[in-house]
Amino acid sequence: MKSFAVFIKLATICLWTFLMASVSHAAESEVVDTGRVNAQLVSNHDDVAPGQELYVALRTLMDPKWHTYWLNPGDSGEPVSISWELPEELSAGDIVWPLPEAIPTGPLTNYGFENEVFFPVKFKVSETAKPGDVLPVKADVFYLVCEEVCIPEQTDLTLNLVVGSPALDQVWNDVINVALDIAPQPETTKGGVFEQDGQAVFRFADLPNGDFSNAYFFPEDGGMIEHAAPQKATVTGKGLQLQTKAGFEWNNGQPEKNRGVLAYDHKGERKGFWVDLDMGNAPDVGAEVERPTESPGGSENTTGSSSPSGSAGKIKSIGFWGAIFGALLGGLILNIMPCVFPIVSLKALSIAKSGSEDKSVIRRDAWAYTIGVLLSFLALAGLIIALRSGGAQVGWAFHMQNPIMVGFLALLLFLISLNLLGVFEISGNFQTVGQDLTMKGGATGSFFTGILAVIVATPCMAPFMAGAVGYAFTQAATTSLMIFFMLGLGFALPYLMIAYIPAISRALPKPGDWMVRFKEFLAFPMFGAVIWLVWVLTQQAGSKGLLRILSAMLAIGFAIWLLKRTSATAKLFAGVITIGALAGLFTLHPQRVATPVSAQIWSSEKVQSLRAEGKAVFVDFTASWCVPCQLNDRAVLKQEDILQAFSANNTEFLIADWTNYDPVIGRELEKYGRAGVPLYLLFPPLNADGSNVDVIPEILPQILTKSMVLDALQGINE
């Protein structure tokens, strides 16, 4: 058992090191804190080919209540600017500006951005670029960031692009694509503006589908309108009229041709598009110009902001003590979740072995395991908090969204299984090192078993745990860490109870020959976990992922056989094979996860569209690596009577798959106080007057039963 403890120690050190490294992406610069803003360059490609186009985006994450400025900053401010220093093999286009928002500041109104914003720029690689070249992308970034005061901030950012075979950075590619999709695009809408009685009158015809009752126009030039004046929207059968106070440019006659962004609501989300204005003329939309009336500055200014589709409104918080109790109870229940059983069973073997030993030995091992668990929970929580503070939309079990990490974990459990069967043992110098680092042999194995148990446990979200984890990530770091400390304490509590309650320790079986058979038996649930991880990897990386992990297992098995030979050449060859097997895992990349034909892919727009059609909507936030998700899927949601109930109750089934990284799903989970999956939401149909558009959906429990789902479906249309 000493050699097995050393093996566990070495394996978990390697796994933990890889976990720390697996969160970085090559196609990004360092994050620079300029004071009130964290700035970074990100690219949708790690490697590029000659003649290729790609996007590089400036990412800015502002402190709460601070903002930067749009192309036209409004009554005050300076727009975000990027000055590029590029090699001759690269050329850059213009900024793709995001949709701004109107930000009232006292009597003024500015146009800008808050929170996290991406500014994509299209790049072109010259045909003359040579494979192997490293192309530095350097940006001198300036922005004015304001709250009650304004602070000019500047930084230099650099990322490197390698010329070779094109290689997408899946994480940043998805994020940049979202930024491009929601940025205002050119439209075929006809637009014009004229001045009458001190009013600027905008008219728009040939509008796209959407709700323009809360429309708002952002002019590209600063003097066309008074930015703080309210904009009155009149929607007719022919189009839209917006009326507001004319700006100073009209004092010297008609301004030159201008354009701007028209913002409107579309299925519960705020959208916008660029439109060119015919100056002095406008299409007839059947609306009259109203006489101007004085209004108190920007106090009546309609910015057109709207809650996102499917907004949860105000989700009731469970509170600090609720989160503490939920974390303790959730950690305790986590011990019996199927994803943890293979590793926890190793601890059970250790307890059985020490059943007849001195109490101090049992308590020492229990505390070693507990410390391993607590440190792991705190380290994982601290890492997630740090990533989220840097703007990354990550949640609990984020490392399982990385196919490289899943492959590495599958390979590790495969090795542990072989070790339990006695295929190989770690001895010699490695064991000596392990003994030197521990006071007594059992503590080392217990400590590193605790670490490994936490890493393997993260795909599971036990009852009571989801609300506690979701609450933790909305609080200050110290509060979050206290909650995760209690989660770890609950996870380790059964083993502390065994160590300190005599009646339990006396009930432990005596050591004997049965332990050898038990140890070998434990290899089989471990192999089951390997099968599950290989299946998850196939969902993430497709058939190539399956080929890579099976090839790695074959190579590792051959390397173990070689290590039993006495020849130095055989041992060297085994080391080379092992390195090659691990290197193959680093070629894994995520791919789109197929959605079952019986379900539709989730989006907030899809939810509102279906509700507007008079249908209820059930949303399944899931992931292939989430064990409770898969159990609910097979035992409840995919059962024929449940599928018939969805149809009978006019309810559409949507899947939000978080198997691979998706920041949009991450933000949606946050709305409902969750940091991970599963999450099940049931939305009612829209009322005829739309009065329940922002209703809080029914949130179903994490562990489903058929009766729960049937009752919810029957009640949703009543």
Give the total residue count for the chain: 718
Residue located via tokens 């933790």: 472
pLDDT band at 405 (very low <50, low <70, confident <90, very high): confident
Determine the number of helices (DSSP H) and then strands (DSSP E) in the chain: 19, 26
Taking the C-alpha atoms of residue 323 and residue 486, their distance in angstroms, rounded to an integer, is 9
Backbone angles phi, psi at 642, to 5 degrees: -70, -40
Four-way CATH pick for 186-300: 1.25.40, 2.60.120, 2.60.40, 3.30.70: 2.60.40
Span 248-272, average pLDDT: 85
Q: Do domains 32-170 and 186-300 have the same CATH topology?
A: yes
State the DSSP string of 540-569: HHHHHHHHHHHHHHHHHHHHHHHHTS--HH
Residue 409 has pLDDT above 50, yes or no: yes
Taking the C-alpha atoms of residue 673 and residue 683, their distance in angstroms, rounded to an integer, is 17
Tell me the fold of 32-170: Immunoglobulin-like (2.60.40)
Residue 570, CA distances (Å) to 301, 551, 574, 582 in order? 78, 20, 6, 18
Residue located via tokens 């217990």: 446
CATH class of the structural domain 600-716: alpha beta
Taking the C-alpha atoms of residue 354 and residue 40, their distance in angstroms, rounded to an integer, is 53
pLDDT band at 464 (very low <50, low <70, confident <90, very high): low
Average confidence score pLDDT of the chain = 79
Structure tokens that stand for 373 in this block:
């668990």
Span 49-69, average pLDDT: 92
Pick the most confident of 264-278, 314-328, 439-453, 591-605.
Answer: 264-278
Q: Which of the two residues, 182 and 6, has the higher pLDDT score?
A: 182
CA angle 299, 301, 302 (to 5 degrees): 140
Residues of the chain above pLDDT 70, percent: 79
Q: Per DSSP, what are the bridge partners of residue 219?
A: 260
Cα atoms found within 13 Å of the Cα of residue 570, Cβ hemisphere only: 10
Q: Which of the two residues, 355 and 595, has the higher pLDDT score?
A: 355
Taking the C-alpha atoms of residue 676 and residue 467, their distance in angstroms, rounded to an integer, is 10
Domains of the chain by residue range: 32-170, 186-300, 314-404+423-525, 600-716
Taking the C-alpha atoms of residue 61 and residue 389, their distance in angstroms, rounded to an integer, is 9
- The whole model's pTM is what? 0.45
Going 20 to 21 to 22 to 28, the CA torsion angle's sign is positive
Q: Which of the two residues, 423 and 299, has the higher pLDDT score?
A: 423
Orientation angle between helical segments 341-353 and 359-389, nearest 10 degrees: 160
Taking the C-alpha atoms of residue 509 and residue 512, their distance in angstroms, rounded to an integer, is 9
* Strand pairing class (679-683; 616-622): antiparallel
Q: Which long-range contacts (CB under 8 A, 24 or more apart) does 422-425 make?
A: 422/520, 423/560, 424/560, 424/563, 424/564, 425/3, 425/4
Reported as type and span, the H/E element at residue 68 is strand 67-74
